[in-house]
Amino acid sequence: MPVSRDPVAEFDVRRAFEAHGGALLGYAVNALRDRPLAEDCVQETFLRAWRARDRFDARRATERTWLFSIARNVIVDAVRARARMPLIGDDAELENRASEAIDPLERLRMLEALSVLSEVHRTAVVAVHLHGRSYHELSDATGVPVSTWRTRTFHALRALRSHLDEKEEPDAHPR
């Protein structure tokens, strides 16, 4: 008779934190742009993971994937909670903050979309569209031909567009 494996024994929170804590913190800081809040989110992620450790199933997802899905939910909760907090300041300051604000959920959506790209495609999009580097600058810095940088960027943007369109479809057609 085979011995059943205890799913609780499969998830070790201390080892998981050592293996994935830094990556989760980077993910949270990028999504929130607030390191103390990001640290709180990572702590909450591991607390929720520990509480739900009996539901972790290594056959369904890797530990890293499971933790990142929990982190995403924690970050969304934090963004929603922060949005409910009243802003304090004079009218000009509040208008300035509102014009500079980037929707953290939209930012999180873009980070997720970038994460599905290959490393070379992500590098091309980030360098050209976020850092404003020209194809010639990239070519000079890396030795990769300009035409290759253009092709990588084209395919990366197409993949991003496709991924973002897929994510919008369920919301666009409510049941």
Condensed to tens digits (0 to 9), the pLDDT of residues 120-167 reads 998 898 888 877 888 888 899 999 999 999 999 999 888 888 887 876
Structure tokens at 48: 């929720």
Distances in whole angstroms, Cα of residue 136 to Cα of each of 64, 124, 157 = 37, 12, 19
Q: Residue ranges of the alpha helices (H) in the chain?
A: 7-10, 13-32, 35-51, 63-84, 91-100, 104-115, 119-125, 135-142, 146-172
pLDDT of residue 89: 59
Within 10 A of 46 (CB to CB), how many other CB atoms are there? 20
Q: Assess whether pLDDT exceeds 90 at residue 90.
A: no
Whether residue 134 sits in one domain with residue 81: no
Whether residue 150 sits in one domain with residue 67: no
107 is a domain residue: no
Question: How many domains, in total, are found in the chain?
Answer: 2
Among 56, 80, 102, the domain boundary falls at 102
86 is a domain residue: yes
Whether residue 76 sits in one domain with residue 15: yes
171 is a domain residue: yes
Whether residue 49 sits in one domain with residue 124: no
pLDDT of residue 111: 79
Among 102, 126, 150, the domain boundary falls at 102
Whether residue 63 sits in one domain with residue 41: yes
Whether residue 84 sits in one domain with residue 135: no
pLDDT of residue 93: 61
pLDDT of residue 108: 77
Give the angle subtended at the CA of 25 by the CAs of 23 and 31, to the nearest 5°. Answer: 105
pLDDT of residue 87: 58
Q: Measured in whole angstroms, how far is the alpha carbon of residue 128 from the centre of its chain?
A: 20
Q: Which domain range does residue 23 map to?
A: 1-102
Q: Assess whether pLDDT exceeds 70 at residue 102.
A: no
110 is a domain residue: no
Q: What is the pLDDT of residues 16-55, one digit of tens each?
A: 999 999 999 999 988 888 899 999 999 999 999 999 999 8
pTM over 0.75: no
14 is a domain residue: yes
% of residues, the chain, pLDDT over 90: 33
Whole-angstrom Cα distance, residue 3 to residue 134? 59
Within 10 A of 125 (CB to CB), how many other CB atoms are there? 20
Whether residue 120 sits in one domain with residue 92: no
- Is the separation of the CB atoms in 11 and 48 below 8 Å? no
